[in-house]
Amino acid sequence: MPELPEVETVRRGLMEHFDGRTLVKVELRRDGLRFPFPEGMGPRLEGRKITSIERRAKYLLIRLSGGLTWLTHLGMSGHFSLLSAGEERASLHAYSLGLPVGKGRHDHVVVHLDDGSRVVYTDPRRFGMMDLLDTSAEQEHRLLRHLGPEPLAEEWTAAVLAATLRGKRVKIKTALLDQKVVVGIGNIYACEALFRARISPLCISSTLAGKRRPTKRVELLVTAVKEILAEAIESGGSTLNDFQAVDGELGYFTHFFQVYDRAGQECKRDSCTGKITRIVQGGRSTFYCPRCQR
């Protein structure tokens, strides 16, 4: 499943090519994805200009002229391909390693823009979603209103996280995946951030929080989360063409993993002789080094 850095990479890619463009024609090849498309989605989008593309957690908010927001979520396997006029192959994301895009059975939405280019939304597993809402009411949308803070926002500090964790008996790994605690981190980056901060995923949240002031460990964790997400986004910018696997699933920035999916291998931390262990927490795999993560 794409996590925050992947979605942010998609947002930046879309912005670069489509900021200020007008949606001329929107072809819907089915009635919906995970949920049905809103009534008259195609005609309601047509003729509008893209004014900006924002991200909230793992949702993309494509803001259009006339105060309309096109809300999308990539689900498990959704992705956008960008094709310039007359082009049959994706210029971005190297979709299916250069196979024709826009005609496949998983290409569900094709948007034609005023410069002749197209945006194709492809989603083999159809866990993605799209909705339309008033831009002024974005924060009240049923899928957005309960979301916690953005990890990359300046306002998300050690003090904020500590206040959230205080009194929580759940393990820190579980807390990091709770979208009310902080949004968009996901399984992979939660493992990586805990490794960098040398915190065991089994640590009880409240013991990390500190009574009044945030502990040094919470400070390290917040820094690690921000750094790891920022690095993944940066690496996404330079490796966009490797971003997708042959089977059309979204890939991850795998070269950058220190701990994720490395069970049984040696810890990459200098001076540590531990081995990476895999455990299951809340039905998800956790990878960590029991020797240097406490």
- Closer CB to Zn ion, 65 or 265, in the complex: 265
Catalytic residue among 55, 58, 168, 217: 58
Residue of the chain from 7, 60, 267, 287 that contacts Zn ion (CB under 5 A): 267
* Cα 125 to Cα 223: distance, rounded to the nearest angstrom: 35
Q: Does 42 bind Zn ion (CB under 5 A)?
A: no
- Closer CB to Zn ion, 68 or 292, in the complex: 292
Residue of the chain from 100, 104, 148, 274 that contacts Zn ion (CB under 5 A): 274
Q: Which one, of 197, 158, 225, 222, lies nearest residue 294 by Cα?
A: 197
- Which 3 state secondary structure label does DSSP give 242? helix
Q: Does 263 bind Zn ion (CB under 5 A)?
A: no
The distance from CA 275 to its chain's CA centroid, rounded to whole angstroms, is 29
Q: Which one, of 89, 63, 95, 56, lies nearest residue 77 by Cα?
A: 95
Strand partners, 25: 112
Cα-trace Rg, the chain = 20
* Cα 78 to Cα 106: distance, rounded to the nearest angstrom: 9
Q: Does 291 bind Zn ion (CB under 5 A)?
A: yes
Catalytic residue among 3, 8, 192, 219: 3
Q: How far is the CB of 33 from Zn ion (least distance, A)?
A: 41
Residue of the chain from 112, 141, 269, 284 that contacts Zn ion (CB under 5 A): 269
Q: How far is the CB of 272 from Zn ion (least distance, A)?
A: 3
Catalytic residues: 2-3, 58, 284
Report the interface residues with Zn ion, using CB under 5 A.
Answer: 267, 269, 272, 274, 289, 291-292
